[in-house]
Structure 1
Amino acid sequence: MPTGIHLRDVRAQLFDAAERVLLREGPGGLTSRAVTAEADCAKGVLHRHFADFDTFLAELVLDRIQRLETRAEGLVAGTGDIVATVADLLTEVFESVAVSIVALITFRDELRARLRAARPGPGIPLATDAARLLADYLAAEQNLGRIAAEADIPALAPTLVGSGHLLFADRTGEPPTEEAVRRMVATVLSGVLVSG
Structure 2
Amino acid sequence: MIIADWVWGWALSRGTPDPVTEHDGYRIDVGLPHHRVRYVLPDPRDAGPRAAGLTEPGTWLKICGTAELDSRWTVAAPEYLMSTPVKPAQPVTPPDPYVVELHSAGKVHDVVVRTRNGEHAAKGRVAVHHNAAVMDMVETDPAHQRRGLGSVVMAELSNVASNHGAARAVLVATESGRALYEKLGWTVESPITSAHLKA
Quick check: which one's strand share is greater?
Answer: 2
Quick check: which one's helix share is greater?
Answer: 1
Computing the radius of gyration over CA atoms, which structure comes out larger, 1 or 2? 1
Q: Which has the higher contact order (CA 8 A, sep 6+)?
A: 2
**TM surpasses 0.5:** no
Q: What TM-score results when the alignment is normalised by the length of structure 1?
A: 0.24
Q: What TM-score results when the alignment is normalised by the length of structure 2?
A: 0.24
